[in-house]
């Protein structure tokens, strides 16, 4: 059965870049979030309260399908984000912002718990840590259009709090933290060392 590592962090923290670096260095298989391919992304930008629930459920199903595929392969998969972050962080954030009703969140929670009974949690979670000023700077310079362009600093702070609540008290997987503040080239040695640590952890699991 294949192994799964989830790379998680705030919006704009560099999850995609970090996933790409790990896969290039370690020979792992990437699984991308690809929000631009999801069918309700355009709708949710125009009427978030109407489309939030169906958008989250679509992401859940997409992520569960990715996990099932990854478990069937004899390889180490690196997830750019993942099912757990989609529920534990982004779905809860939608509730905090009033975009999901408590009853709609309950539907999401029931699906999440049911799916996790069928699919084992990731073998490892890597939490990217980036300070808020760096996150805001990256948002201003990133090329692709993402939903966080409309976020204010408080929403980024709220997401960071949800990440902390999840990973410090609720995570069902071992968690590693990696500070990803500097330019990519400045992290080369740390990435190489991290890949070695990852392989050691997975061999012993």
Task: List the chain domain ranges.
Answer: 3-204
pLDDT value at position 181?
A: 79
3-state helix, strand, coil in the chain (%, to 5): 60, 10, 25
The SS3 call for residue 77 is strand
The whole-number average pLDDT for the span 74-91 is 96
Domain 3-204 has CATH 3.40.50.300: yes
- Tell me 150's DSSP state: G
Residue 186 exposed, middle or buried by CB count within 10 Å (0-12, 13-18, 19+):
exposed
| Phi, psi dihedral angles at 16 (to 5 degrees) | -65, -45
> 36-40, 82-86, 95-99, 148-152: which range is least confident on average?
148-152
Closest CA to 56 of 94, 14, 20: 94
Rg (CA), the chain: 17
**Confidence class for position 34, pLDDT limits 50, 70, 90:** confident
């Amino acid at each position: 059965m294949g192994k799964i590592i989830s790379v998680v962090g705030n919006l704009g923290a560099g999850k995609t870049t970090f996933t790409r670096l790990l896969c290039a260095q370690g020979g792992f298989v990437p699984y991308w979030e690809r929000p631009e391919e999801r069918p309700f992304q355009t709708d949710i930008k125009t009427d978030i309260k109407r489309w939030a629930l169906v958008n989250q459920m679509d992401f859940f199903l997409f992520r569960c399908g990715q996990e099932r595929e990854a478990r069937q392969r004899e390889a180490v998969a690196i997830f750019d984000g993942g099912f757990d972050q989609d529920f534990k962080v982004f779905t809860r954030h939608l509730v905090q912002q009033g975009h999901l009703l408590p009853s709609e969140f309950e539907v999401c929670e029931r699906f999440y718990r049911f799916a996790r009974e069928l699919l084992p949690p990731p073998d490892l979670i890597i939490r990217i840590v980036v300070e808020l000023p760096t996150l805001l700077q990256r948002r201003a310079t990133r090329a692709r259009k993402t939903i966080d362009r409309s976020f204010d600093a408080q929403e980024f702070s709220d997401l960071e709090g949800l990440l902390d609540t999840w990973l410090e008290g609720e995570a069902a997987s071992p968690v590693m933290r990696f500070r990803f503040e500097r330019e990519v080239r400045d992290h080369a040695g740390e990435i190489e060392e991290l890949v070695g640590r990852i392989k050691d952890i997975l061999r012993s699991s």
